[in-house]
Structure formats: structure tokens, C-alpha cells
Structure 1
Amino acid sequence: MMRKWIILAVLLLVVLAGGIPLYLQRNFKEEVVAGPGVTDVFKLSRYFSGIEGTIADTDVFELKGSEEGGKMLIIAGTHENEPSAALTAFYLIENLKVDRGTVYIIPHFNRSGSLGTQPGGGFPLYFSMETPWGEKTFRMGDRGFQALDQWPDPDVYIHYPEGQAMSYIDARNTNRAWPGRPDGYYAEQVTYATMEMIKKEKIDIVIDLHEAEAMYPVTNCIVVPEKSMSYATGASFYVKGREKFENHVERSPTAFRGLSHREIGDWSDAYPFLLESPGVHLDQITAAKTPELIMDGIDPFVLKAAEKGLLFIPYDENGFSMDRRVGQHSSVIQEIVVQWSKKNPERGLTISAPKYKEIVENGLGYFFKDPSKANKDDVYYQ
């Protein structure tokens, strides 16, 4: 009898040792300080009440200029294991100035995915950056909805409405679920709510922020359908010529369904753009997936792959830091707006925030405000 109690006690300790850190991470709150440009914060369920009060609902930050103009939606956290997206969103919420038009920002599009890491992926639960006022910590997320929130998976995921057969795991992937449906999986309900928002608000530009592996060809780029091509090409030429970083253009495939850069353009009047920055931590060949790797992008095995010509980005011993990744996103977003506004002056936007060079020189942490010294009404918990 005593032996059984000992075994039970050991099993309980194992469960607690593994479960408590995951519980704490799931309930850890990231702090973002609404900058002076933020004019409203509301839930995505404003556009589809079916997700109200569920894990699929998420915050939308509105930044409205004093002059009427076009509208842009920035989506971050489609894949929550690509953290430069959410950090770009937080950075813009705190620093973006909008003089003309309206910008909407969703920092955690897949909120469920932001609450836990990829099972078996070896990723840390958190990563941090240095700021002038101390260390700022963020959760490390997963690519799709957590199984805790959306389960069971189908044997085969069938895309709606095209009927394309996909991997079972894509039922939890918010970049395989566009344009969505109100009675589908959570991933489909999130994209449906967002499509309703895009249509109701008459949004002109939708930017979906991502990261991709250094060994994956569609990285360090802008992915667009035909309708967005001229704007993306102009932005790519500009940042390469003026800001001295590479960001080429990839064409959205017509036969691969469910992608934001395909379905948003096909199902609405908006012009979609998907931005990929190089996230070395996502490559399978790296050493330990440490918080430092997530932030500095320095890895000896990826460097060896670069020496053998196996990467699709320029890479050396300096790595590909979070500062660079967020800086690139900031610059490309702003240049897409410039290109759009030149050709559509009646629906133009005027926005500004520090770009690539300034972010790299100062470090991303320099631009984040101390929540403990901010007005409590301006601090939002994600």
C-alpha cells in the first residue's frame, strides 16, 4: 500500500513540476502602453458576436488621425511563434503617429497561440529585452491555436469555401482559415470576424506580419497577390536603395487557399500584404532554442549553413536580431503606405514612426515605455 502512495506522490510531483510553469505562462500578462496616437481599444467581437467571451476574441487598437483618409489594418500574431510580429505591433501601438487616416492594430491575432509554446519544440516559455528602465518580458507562443482551446483536430482539414484538403493541424492555423466562417473552427471564426471588420470599415490596406526560417525561400520578403504587386515592388525598391536592406517580393499562389495574402484580396476590396522577416530560431538545425537566440538570431549551425550556401538570406556572425526584424517591418509598412498614398491620394494615409536604422542604432527596447510610470488607464494587458 505504501508503495502505491509513493508512486502516486511521485506522479503528482511530476504533473505539478510540468504543469505549474505552463499555467503561469498561460496567465502571464504582457504590458503595452497605449501611445498618444491610440484613440480607442475594443474587441474584435465588435464585428462578430459569436467570438465574444471566447479565447478567439482579441484586442484591436485604433489610431485615428485628425484628418480623414484611408484605413489600414495591421495583423500580428497570426503565428505566435514568430515574435517579431507581435513586438512590431506593440512598438507601433506605443510609437506610431497618425496624422491622416486610421490605423487598426491587432497584436495577438491568434490569442490562444500566444498562451503556450509548440509542444516538443524545445522553445523557452518567455524571452526578454533590455530597456532604459529595466527588462521587458514577453511570452513565447505557438504557431496555431492551442489544443487546450480547440480540440479535437479533424483527420483532414477541408478549407471553406474552396474545399481544398489540408493537413489536420491547419484547422488551428489562422493563415489557412481565410476568409473564415461563423460556424467553423475558432481559427475560421477569427478570420471571419476580421473579414467582417475589413468590409464594414472599408479598410484599404491589410498587413499580416510574419517570420520565416533562414532556410526557407519565402523569407525576408513581401508576399502579395496581383492587385498589390505594384505597391509592394515600389516599397521593396525603396528600402533596398535608401535603407540598405533586402526585402524582395513574392507572388501569392492562386491554387493554395486559406492564406491572408490571397483570400483577403479575393473576398474584399482591401489590398493585402504579408511581410516575412528572417526568424533564425524557427530553423530546425539550430542549437538550443534559448531566449537569447530569439532576440539576437545568432546560431553557429545556421552560420555553418550560410557558409555552405544553404540559406536564403545574407547571414554572418552578427546574426539577425530582433532589432533588425522589427526595424524592417516598421520601414516596409511605412513605405507601403507611401506607395499607396501616391497612387490613391483620396484614400491616402500619413503616418510616421522610427524606422530600420534608428531602431537598430538605439535598440528596440529604447522605444518601449515603462508601464509602472504610465497612466494606469493607458496600460493594456495582453
Structure 2
Amino acid sequence: MMRKLLILVVLTLIVLAGGIPLYIQRSYKEEVVAGPSVTDVFKLSKYFDGIKGTIADTDVFELKGAEEGGKTLIIAGTHANEPSAALLAYFFIENLEVEKGTIYVIPHFNRSGSLGPQPGGGFPLYYFVDTPWGEKKFRMGDRGFQALDQWPDPDVYVHYPDGQLLSYIDARNTNRSWPGRPDGYLAEKVSFAAMEMIRNEGIDVVIDLHEAEAMYPVTNCIVAPEKSMPYAIGAAFYVKGREKFENHVESSPAGYRGLSHREIGDWSDAYPFLLESPGVHLDQITAAKTPELIIDGIDPFVLKAGEKGLLFVPYDENGFSMDRRVGQHSSVIQEILSQWTKKNPDRGFKVSAPKHADIVENGLGFYFKDPSEADEDKVFLQ
């Protein structure tokens, strides 16, 4: 009897030791300070009440200029294990100046995935950005909705409405669930809510932010469907010629369904783009997936793979830092909007924020505001 009791106590302690840190992380709130261009903050459920009160509902930040113009939706956190997306969203919320047009920013599109790391992935619970006022702490997330929030998985995920058969795990993937449906899986409902926003607000440009492995061919690039391609090509040429970093263009495949850069353009008048920055922490061959790896992007095994010609992005001992990844997103987004404005002046934009070179030189943390020094009504918990 005592032996069974001892085993039970040990098992209970093991469960608590593993479960309590995950519970604390799920409850941890990231802080963002609304910058001067933020004019409103509301829930995505404004456009579809089917996600109201659920883990899928998430904040939308509106940054509106004094002059009327076009409308852009920036989606971050589709895959919450790709952190440069959420950090770019926070960076824009705090620093983007909007004089013409309206920019909507969603920091955690896959809010469920942002609340816990990928099971079995070996990722840390948190990562940290150094700022002039101290260390800023962020949750490390999962690629898809957590099973805790959407269960059970189907044997095969059948994409709506095309009927294409996808992996079972894609039922929780918010970049396989577009255009969504009101009575589908929770991941499909959040995509449907975003589509309703895009259609009802008359969004012109949608930019979905991601990171991809250095060993994955679709990385360090802009992915665009046919109608968005001229703007993507113009932006890629500009940043290579003027800002001196590589960011090539990939065509959105017409035969692979559920992707934001395909379905958004097919199901609305909006012009979609998907941006990939190289996140080497996602590569399977890395050493320990530490908070430092997430931030500095330096790994000896990825470097060795690069020496053997196995990577799809230039990589050296300096790594591919968070400063570079967020800086790249900032520059490419601003140039896409510039290219759009040249061809659509009546629906154009006038925006500005620090770009790649400034962020690399100063460090991303330099641009984050201290929440303790900000007005209480300007600080939002995510």
C-alpha cells in the first residue's frame, strides 16, 4: 500500500512540475504601448460573433491617418512559433506613424497558439528582448491552435470549400483554414472572421507575417498570387537595390488550398502578400532551442549545413538575428505600401517607421516603450 501511495505522490509531483509552468505561461500577459497613431482597439469578433468570448477572439489595433486613403490589414501570429511576426506587430503599434490611410494590426491572429509552446518541440516557454529600460519578456508559442482549445483532430482535414484533403493537424493551422466558415473548426472561424473584416471594411492590402527554416526553400521571401505579383516584385527589387538585403518573390500555388496568400485574394478584392523571414530556431538540426537562439539566430549546426550548400538563405557566423528579421519585415511592408500607392494614389498610404538598417544598428529593443512609464490607458495586455 505504501509503495502505491509513494508512486502516486511521485506521479503527482511530476505532473505538477510540468503543468504549473505551462499554466503560468498561459496566464502571462505581454504588454504593448499604443503609439500616437493608434486610434482604436477592438476585438475581431466585431465582424463575426461566433468567436466572441472564445480563445479565438483577439485584439485588432487601428492606426488611422488624418488623410483618407487605403486600408491595410497586417496579420501577425498566424504561426505563434514564428516570433518576429508578433514583434513586428508590437513594433508597428508603438512606432508606426500614419499620415494617410488606415493600418489594422493583429498581433496574435492565432491567439490559442500564442499561449503555449509546441509540444515536443524543445522550445523555451519565453524569450527576451533587451531594451534601454530592462528586459522585455514574451511567450513562445505553437504553430497551430493548441489541442487544449480545439479537439479532437480529424483523421483527415477536408479543406472548405474545395474539399482538398490535408493533414489532420492542419485543422488547427490558421494558414490552412482560409477562407474559413462560420460553422467549422475554431481555426476556420477565426479565418472567417478575418475574411468578414476584409470584405466589410474594404481592405485593399493584406500582409501575413511568418518565419521559415533556413533549410526550407520558401524562406526570406514575399509570397504573392498573380494579382499581387507586380507590387511584390517592385518591393523585392527596391529592398535589394536600396537597402541591400535579399528578399526574393515566390508565386502562390493555385492548387494548394487554405493559404492566406491564395484564398484572401480569391475570396475578396484585397491584394494579399505573405512575408517569410529566416527563423533558424525552426530548423530541425539546431542545438538546444534556447531563448538566445530565438533572438540571435546563431547556430553551429545550421552554419555547417550552410557550408555544405543545404540552406536557402545566405548564412554566416553572425546568424540571422531578430533585429534583422523584424527590420526586414518593416522595410518590406513599407515598400509594398509605397508600390501600392504609386499605382493607386486615391487608395494610397503615407506611413513611416524605422527600417532594416536602423533596427539592426540600434537593436529592436531600443524602439519598445516602457509600460511602467506610459499612461495606463495606453498599455494593452496581450
User: Following TM superposition, by how much is the alpha carbon of 1:86 offset from its aligned partner in structure 2, in angstroms?
Assistant: 0.3
Structure 1 residue 50: Cα displacement: 0.6
Correspondence for 2:167: 167
> 2:98 — aligned with what?
98
Name the structure 1 match of 2:290: 290
SS at match of 2:16: helix
- Name the count of aligned residue pairs: 382
Aligned to 1:347: 347
CA offset digits 1:209-249 (Å, max 9, x no partner)? 00000000100000000000000000000000000000000
Deviation at 1:5, TM superposition (A): 1.6
Say whether 1:380 aligns with 2:377: no
Aligned AA (1:77): G
Alignment-derived partner of residue 336 in structure 1? 336
**Does the alignment pair 1:57 with 2:57?**
yes
Q: CA deviation at 1:4?
A: 1.9
Task: Give CA-to-partner distance per residue, 1:59-104, whole Å, 9 cap, x none.
Answer: 0000010000000000000000000000000000000000001000
| Partner residue, 1:270 | 270
1:121 aligns with 2:121: yes
CA distance in 2, matches of 1:27, 1:16: 16
Aligned residue in 1 for 2:359: 359
SS in 1 for 2:38: coil
The residue aligned with 1:248 is: 248
Using the size of structure 2 for normalisation, the TM-score is 1.00
Secondary structure of the corresponding residue to residue 39 of structure 1: strand
Question: What's 1:228 paired with?
Answer: 228
Q: Report the RMSD for the aligned CA atoms in angstroms.
A: 0.4
Q: Does 1:40 align with 2:40?
A: yes
Residue type of the alignment partner of 1:234: G
Q: Secondary structure at the match of 1:333?
A: helix
1:14-58 C-alpha deviation (Å, 9 max, x unpaired): 011000000000001000001111000000000000100000100
- 2:209 is aligned to 209
Partner of 2:302: 302
Partner residue of 2:317?
A: 317
For 1:255 and 1:15, how far apart are their aligned partners in 2? 44
**Aligned counterpart, 1:219:** 219
| Inter-partner Cα distance in structure 2 for 1:38 and 1:251 | 33
Map of 2:30 onto structure 1 = 30
One-letter amino acid matched to 1:218: V
Shift in Å, 1:356: 0.3
Superposed displacement of residue 259, structure 1: 0.2
Quick one: distance in 1 between partners of 2:195 and 2:217?
Answer: 29
Paired residue secondary structure (2:365): helix
1:166 & 1:338 partners in 2: Cα distance? 36
CA distance in 1, matches of 2:262, 2:2: 62
Q: What CA distance in whole angstroms lies between the structure 1 residues aligned with 2:309 and 2:206?
A: 34
Matched AA of 1:266: D
What are the Cα deviations for residues 284-328 of structure 1, in whole angstroms up to 9, with x where unaligned?
000000000000000000000010111000000000000000000
Distance in 1 (alpha carbons) for counterparts of 2:72 and 2:121: 34
Written as runs of structure 1 = structure 2, the 5 A alignment for 1:138-177 is 138-177=138-177
Q: Distance in 2 between matches of 1:7 and 1:173?
A: 38
Deviations 1:99-141 (A, max 9, x none): 0010000000000000111110000000001000000000000
1:266 CA drift (Å): 0.3
Instruction: Tell me the residue number matched to 2:326.
Output: 326
In structure 1, C-alpha distance between the alignment counterparts of 2:269 and 2:131, rounded to whole Å: 40
Deviation at 1:377? 0.6
**Percent of aligned pairs sharing the same letter:** 81
Q: Measure, in 2, the Cα distance between the counterparts of 1:68 and 1:115.
A: 36
Equivalent positions of 1:5-24 (< 5 A) are 5-24=5-24
Find the aligned partners of 1:77 and 1:267 in 2 and give their Cα distance: 22
